[in-house]
Amino acid sequence: MADDNVLKKVLDKIDDMKTELVNATSALVQIPSVHGEEAEAQAFMKARYEELGLAVETFEADLEEIKAHPAYIDTGHTYDDRPNVVGILDGLDDAPSLILNGHVDVVSPEPIDKWTADPWGGEVKEGRMYGRGVYDMKAGVMANLFATRAILESGLKPKGRLILQSVIEEEAGGSGGALACFLKGYSADGMLVPEPSNHNVVISHAGVKYFRVKVLGKTAHAALSHTGVNAIGKMNQIYNALIDLDERRAAQHDYPLLKHYSSRSCNLNIGTYRAGDWASSVAGMAEMECRVGFVPGEKGADVMREVEDTISSAVRDDDWLKENPPEVTWYGWDTEPWVQDENDGFVQAFLSSSTEMLGEKPNLTGFPGALDTRFAPYFGVPSLTFGPKGDRLHGPDEYVEIDSLVTVTKVIAKFILDWCGHVF
């Protein structure tokens, strides 16, 4: 544990830098970095790492290398001009090392007309900062940076190696970001990712799979619609069956860590529904794109079979669909559930360190989506998520609480000192 006087010096430094922390977070939010367009935000982070005197390395993911890994997810994007940025502070080989990871890619702010704040404004109002990606997770990226900066500007240096990572692509699976960093050889004795967690310690996440369902109808002129077969009505049978499956799965699968986050352990979501192409024609095609989440203990292959059996059962008595069966395609996100052993020394060390900082022990919880922490077990690295309070991630008026951002920065700084040790 860090000496009280040393810790106070670092925490006071963070308080002194609060305005700079807020301004830097706002500046990063003001750089649009929707998935696939991260270059400008990464140039910003590279400059920040260089200002700290870190040994900075940038690289673009090698598609052939990451494709060979079992955790790879195909996004359909290239990695040209989409660098990962790594800042390294070398330490002693016999002292514990640490990765502080965060992603700068964000989801689209659409529909922008639903926002009351500028999604790219980084505006502060009543103790909150608003903007796309501020909560998920540009605030966390800045917490990593300023925790490290506070230590260095206090005249200290971590004894163990410290690796700061600003990565791309987490929102689309993380293959070209966190996974690429591990494959490049950036490893440590533990990894901390300050994704949104409301001061909970996240040690598990759901499995995630995407699937697409296509149904064919029979087109006809609207005036002769009785001679056609409307794909919308046929697809609605499948829609209703998947809604019922979602409710059944939620009732059947109770996983406390995931349920703690949102009162429900798993979800099946129908995210898009497209059909037809002309009001005066019977819809000849309908398509839905869906996401199914599943809990630790379930296997992705079993979930796929459950979804496909549900769709088959839904159309079993429909003569048209028996002759023209729905087409189910699995694509995109393909992640098995992740669980970090809570008894691992890394988790216990973080719980001890953060409890002392927060004044109470943070809750252990899970996240119903997927996180970059899932890559760490492939490389023998324990990992966890601990991040700020906020709300509306991926929604209009996404925000982070400023005081919470400061608190998380302090927790990270203390943990660096406790885990890596320090030298003057």
CATH architecture under which domain 207-335 falls: 2-Layer Sandwich (3.30)
Identify the burial level of 316 via C-beta atoms within 10 angstroms of its C-beta, where 0-12 means exposed, 13-18 middle and 19 or more buried.
Answer: exposed
Fold of 4-205+337-423: Aminopeptidase (3.40.630)
Q: Do the strands 191-193 and 98-103 form a parallel or antiparallel pair, or are they unpaired?
A: parallel
Give the length of the chain: 424
**Residue 1: predicted pLDDT:** 67
Q: How many CB atoms lie within 10 A of CB 118?
A: 15
Asked if the peptide bond before residue 368 counts as cis, ω within 30 degrees of 0, the response is: no
Q: Where are the domains of the chain?
A: 4-205+337-423, 207-335
- Return d(Cα 90, Cα 88) in angstroms, integer: 6
Taking phi first (over 0 means left), then psi (-120 to 50 degrees means alpha), and beta for anything else, what does residue 133 get? left
Residues 45, 373: Cα–Cα separation, whole Å: 21
> For residue 76, what pLDDT is reported?
85
Token pair listed for 227: 């001679």
Name the β-bridge partners of 90. none
Question: With a threshold of 0.85, does the pTM exceed it?
Answer: yes
- 280 burial type by CB count under 10 A (0-12 exposed, 13-18 middle, 19+ buried): exposed
Residue numbers of the chain with a pLDDT score lower than 50: none
* DSSP assignments along 319-382, one per residue: HHHHHSPPEEEEEEEEE--EE--TTSHHHHHHHHHHHHHHSSPPPEEEESS--GGGGGGGGT--
- What digits encode the pLDDT tens for the residues 385-402? 999 999 999 999 999 999
- What are the tens digits of pLDDT across the range 302-361? 999 999 999 999 999 999 999 999 999 999 899 999 999 999 999 999 999 999 999 999
Alpha-carbon distance of 192 to 101, in angstroms, equals 6
Please tell me the chain's helix, strand, coil percentages from 3-state DSSP, rounded to the nearest 5.
40, 25, 35
User: What is the per-residue pLDDT for 368?
Assistant: 87
